[in-house]
Amino acid sequence: MGMSIKAAIKDHLANNPLKEHVNNSIKDHWDYFVHNGLENGVSEQFYTDNGLNIRRFSWEDLDECAELFREVFSADPWYDNWISSYQARNYLNELIENPVFQGFVACEDSRIVAVCIGHRRSWWMGDEFFVDEFFVENGRQGNGVGTKMMNFVTNSLAAHGYNRLILLTNKEIPAESFYLKNGFNNNLERTVMQKKI
């Protein structure tokens, strides 16, 4: 959106140093073709570790994800005011109906404890993944579940040729530190604009 070519190339190289770029793509292709099966509990499709299972979202997960979403964002530090499960479900449903939607869930004892919902942006510099929602059950936060989920999502997407994750969050809340610890940086050249109507 409205970035000059020079700025975009600078931005792209700043975020994807050439050496890393080449190494990563060789590694991703290797992982994709050679390790695309369940090996040591980790594959591009599935991750399992000490009772935590991470896999792709499927439609049957929607109601449980909506319940969890409402619980998590009604709590500190968000205090969102979703008035019903129906309202939360409707919001997630819209994200999931997006033709370029991709989602991931993490389960413990077949209960969903973390969710990542997002969509592809087929940008001219390569495919980006926009994270629409990312959340971990209140009682399970701060135990590494979010980090494992983020790693799985990142590896899965990289294996499919994506080269960037993007998201919006609030400044100076715990989520911001979480993303900073997980390899994100703040894009200081960008601003979020809105207009009340």
Q: Which is nearer to ligand COA, 46 or 73 (CB)?
A: 73
Q: If binding is defined by CB under 6 A, does position 147 make contact with ligand COA?
A: yes
Q: How far is the CB of 63 from ligand COA (least distance, A)?
A: 19
**Single residue of 69, 134, 152, 162 touching ligand COA by CB under 6 A:** 134
**Single residue of 17, 142, 161, 183 touching ligand COA by CB under 6 A:** 142
* Rounded Cα–Cα distance for residues 37 and 55 (Å): 13
- Kindly list the distances between the CA atom of residue 170 and the CA atoms of 147, 174, 177, in Å, as whole numbers in the listed order: 19, 9, 11
- Any idea which residue has 């509990």 for tokens? 41
Quick check: helix, strand or coil at residue 7? helix
Tokens for 106?
Answer: 């993490």
**Single residue of 36, 90, 177, 186 touching ligand COA by CB under 6 A:** 177
Asked if omega into 77 is within 30° of 0 (cis), the reply is yes
Q: If binding is defined by CB under 6 A, does position 69 make contact with ligand COA?
A: no
Q: How far is the CB of 162 from ligand COA (least distance, A)?
A: 19
Q: If binding is defined by CB under 6 A, does position 143 make contact with ligand COA?
A: yes
Q: Which is nearer to ligand COA, 129 or 178 (CB)?
A: 178
Beta strand extents in the chain (DSSP E only): 46-49, 52-56, 101-108, 111-123, 126-136, 164-167
Contact 149, 47 (CB under 8 A): no
Q: If binding is defined by CB under 6 A, does position 103 make contact with ligand COA?
A: no
Q: Which residues bind ligand COA (CB under 6 A)?
A: 72, 134-136, 141-147, 169, 174-175, 177-178, 181
